[in-house]
Amino acid sequence: MEKQRDVNRVVTPVVQTHMTAGYEACNSESGPGMYERMKTYMSRHVDTTKSVMFNDASVQLLDQLNSLQVRWFDSPSGRCQVVTTWMGDCL
């Protein structure tokens, strides 16, 4: 169960890492019109990094899911559930 929670938490750090430059650009703003400039920075940053962010998060997530699957199939209860499901499908 703990491993499942770890899988669910893998995306947030990837997104945070990719968003750092956008956050820093927004954080450096001050003065009149800063809110509009911050919105522009963030919008541009997301537009330019969204594909890489998605791909990196997907790779991390798939790695974690594959690891979870291997651990589950290697466990006795996992193997029993596979056999039980298979037998139910055959009946």
Domain ranges in the chain? 2-90
The answer to whether residues 64 and 2 touch, using CB atoms and an 8 Å cutoff, is no
Q: What is the pLDDT of residues 50-71, one digit of tens each?
A: 999 999 999 988 888 888 777 7
Q: What is the pLDDT of residues 27-55, one digit of tens each?
A: 999 999 999 999 999 999 999 999 999 99
- Its pTM stands at 0.62
Task: Compute the distance between CA of residue 59 and CA of residue 51 in angstroms, rounded to an integer.
Answer: 12
For the chain, the helix, strand and coil percentages under 3-state DSSP, each to the nearest 5: 90, 0, 10
CA distances from 85 to 15, 66, 68, 89 (A): 37, 20, 19, 6
